[in-house]
Amino acid sequence: MKTLNDFNFENKKALIRVDFNVPLNDDFEVTDATRIVSAKSTIIKVLEDGGSCILMSHLGRPKGVQDEFSLKHIVNKVEDVFGVEVKFVENCVGDEAEKAAEALNPGEILLLENLRFHEEEKQGDVGFAEALSKLGDIYVNDAFGTAHRAHASTTVVAQFFPEHKCFGHLLAKEIESIKKVMESGEKPVLAVLGGAKVSSKITIIENILDKVDHLIIGGGMTFTFIKAQGGQVGDSICEDDKIDLALDILKQAEAKNVTIHLPVDVLAANAFSNDAETQVMDVNKIPNGWQGLDAGPQSKVNFHNVVMACKTILWNGPLGVFEMETFASGTIALGDSIAEATSAGAFSLVGGGDSVAAVKQFGFENKVSYVSTGGGAMLESLEGKTLPGIAAILD
Ligand code: AMP
């Protein structure tokens, strides 16, 4: 796997696909610069080698050229983060872009206009990718968030750099972290899968059963499994058409020697509301009119013990409706347990969908080993898929 450190960028122009799809407020100010900061290590390496950086990204979902989605809005923030003046060009391909790239000196950064102002980007158009490729000497992909898309800048462009393409530090770290969990993790390996529905996690569950020793199933998914085993789930979220599938997963887990841990109790509510009346209940005995919205106290203890016994931990999905304070404590307790296991030497990876939001909201970001930057890309990796953006560099 070729990474940045395999190249010396002296007098070279690095064409870097970054993910600067950052949130902006009504005044077009960046409200969370995490994605820009995440690219810092790659950009500093190129500049310190004596090279220059041509940064390409998308922002939002524009339909054609739309000023509100212009990357010009983030130039000041990129300058703040990297401490270097950032030049900006109003098109990502064509004469203007080529001239700006040509004029770039070692130590300088050029930010290209939003790739998605051209519909060819998402179409993975080869001609558009070739036009992008004219701008740089070495192609660097550092955008994990779009690595599951076969777009021009994330995948197709790589073919124009057969010997001169590599992963940036951020993307390399993502790949290594996933590998650590899925292939080379120290045993026992644990996956915690929460979230709303079995149907959205089924491919992950099936793929992961071959990789883990323990699987904690929490959140809304719990109730399909509980009902499948004959429990009474009341008004809890439950996918009746997935009951057979749940039974099959339990069977597969047994055959593969994977221990499945489900909640034994829940914090149930008489309405899907932060102000609802609540009661701790046996997970198998939830009466109609009540729904389980968080893990109960005994479940928290059980999950803590499992987490502490494991050396490699993957966490995807909250254990309850964490967006409501009343039902956040199961997710917070799990985060605390994973943080404690991590400080005792376990490797922990958090990623995919809403898990990152939960981890950030409750301040666990720096207490786990790695928080993935790509929601969809992470989910597809956990499903065992080869991401096109990664395959294009490995080719
Ligand atoms: P996912 O995107 O599949 O990881 O699902 C995340 C969502 O699952 C969050 O918005 C949670 O509010 C929701 N969720 C977690 N536990 C439950 C539950 N017991 N009942 C309903 N929704 C839940």
The predicted model scores a pTM of 0.90
Q: Residue 356's pLDDT is what?
A: 78
Q: Whose CA is nearest to atom 17 of ligand 1?
A: 220
- Between CA 395 and CA 379 the distance in angstroms is 22
Joined together, the tokens standing for residue 216 give 């904690």
CA dihedral 174→338→368→192, nearest 10 degrees, is 20
- Please identify, by atom number, the ligand 1 atom nearest to the C-alpha of residue 236: 20
Q: Is the pLDDT of residue 385 over 80?
A: yes
Amino acid at 43: I
- CB contact at 8 A, 263 and 224: no
Does 204 contact ligand 1 (Cβ within 6 A)? no
Do 4-172 and 185-381 agree at the fold level?
Answer: yes
**Residue 23 C-alpha to ligand 1 middle, in angstroms?**
23
Which residue intervals of 258-352 are DSSP H helices?
A: 297-309, 329-343
Joined together, the tokens standing for residue 30 give 């960046």
Q: Whose CA is nearest to atom 11 of ligand 1?
A: 321
State phi, psi for 194 to the nearest 5 degrees.
-125, -155
Does 323 contact ligand 1 (Cβ within 6 A)? yes
Q: Could you confirm whether domain 185-381 is CATH 3.40.50.1260?
A: yes
Q: Residue 2's pLDDT is what?
A: 84
- Find how far residue 61's CA is from the centre of its chain: 19
Superfamily assignment of 4-172 in CATH? Phosphoglycerate kinase, N-terminal domain (3.40.50.1260)
pLDDT in tens, 316-332: 999 999 999 999 999 99
**Residue 241 C-alpha to ligand 1 middle, in angstroms?**
18
Which residue intervals of the chain are DSSP H helices?
A: 34-38, 40-49, 75-82, 95-102, 120-123, 126-133, 169-182, 202-208, 222-228, 243-255, 297-309, 329-343, 355-361, 375-382, 388-394
| Residues classed as catalytic | 35, 197, 353, 376
- Between CA 130 and CA 121 the distance in angstroms is 11
pLDDT in tens, 59-103: 999 999 999 999 999 999 999 999 999 999 999 999 999 999 999
Residue 190 pLDDT level (bands cut at 50, 70, 90): very high
Does 200 contact ligand 1 (Cβ within 6 A)? yes
Does 218 contact ligand 1 (Cβ within 6 A)? no
- Between CA 88 and CA 99 the distance in angstroms is 12
Does 326 contact ligand 1 (Cβ within 6 A)? no
Structural domain boundaries of the chain? 4-172, 185-381
pLDDT in tens, 17-41: 999 999 999 999 999 998 999 999 9
Does 320 contact ligand 1 (Cβ within 6 A)? yes
**Residue 88 C-alpha to ligand 1 middle, in angstroms?**
41
**Residue 244 C-alpha to ligand 1 middle, in angstroms?**
21
Does 220 contact ligand 1 (Cβ within 6 A)? yes
